[in-house]
Structure 1
Amino acid sequence: MMYPFMTLNDETEIVHSHMLPDGRVKVYIERPDEKYGFLHATCWLPEYKWEDVYKFSDGDIQKFQEIIESTAHLIMEFSQEGGFEGAANF
């Protein structure tokens, strides 16, 4: 299950998984693109390991890294609570 986390002004969506038994959380990022369909990348927490980066620039990944680093504590918490809505008891 993937949970919505954040939508950026350029329509980039950031979602995350539930916490896996090994303590890792998958953070998936995608942005619609007329030429390529969707640009996408995966970052694994807590190690910040990037993989499956498709058509995002190094600058984009650096920006996403900063966003994820500054919100990782929330993502890790929400991943154990059923996403933001679960953590907020909606």
Structure 2
Amino acid sequence: MMYNYIKLADDTQIAHSNILEDQTVQVSIERPIDGGFCSATCFLPQCQWRSIEGFTASDLDYFTEIVRSSAPLIYRLAREVSLSDQ
């Protein structure tokens, strides 16, 4: 399950998972565009990007900074939802 983390001024939505079995957290990013969405998935703590559609390298650099700087808070929130799911 994904949980909303933040919505940016350009309507880009960032959401996170609970803590997964391998101790990673999935961070998903979506931005609405005409007829669909740009999307990308990042896995913490390595900040490995996967399934990138529509975002530029510059976009990913920007999102990497957001995700890395927010990683402690994202992990805390993911841990809280993991505990509440038990």
**TM-score between the two structures when normalised by the length of structure 2:** 0.92
**Distance between the aligned counterparts of 2:2 and 2:79, measured in 1?**
12
State the partner residue of 1:14.
14
Gaps of 5+ in 2: none
**Distance between the aligned counterparts of 2:75 and 2:67, measured in 1?**
11
State the partner residue of 2:72.
73
Residue aligned with 1:82, SS? helix
**Distance between the aligned counterparts of 2:72 and 2:81, measured in 1?**
15
2:27 equivalent to 1:38: no
**Distance between the aligned counterparts of 1:22 and 1:31, measured in 2?**
28
Residue aligned with 1:18, SS? strand
- Note the C-alpha offset of 1:82: 1.6
> RMSD of the alignment, in Å?
1.4
**Distance between the aligned counterparts of 1:76 and 1:47, measured in 2?**
13
Divergent runs of 4+, >6 A: none
- Note the C-alpha offset of 1:21: 1.8
Gaps of 5+ in 1: none
Which structure: greater strand fraction? 2
- Note the C-alpha offset of 1:69: 0.7
Residue aligned with 2:19, SS? coil
- Note the C-alpha offset of 1:22: 1.3
**TM-score between the two structures when normalised by the length of structure 1:** 0.88
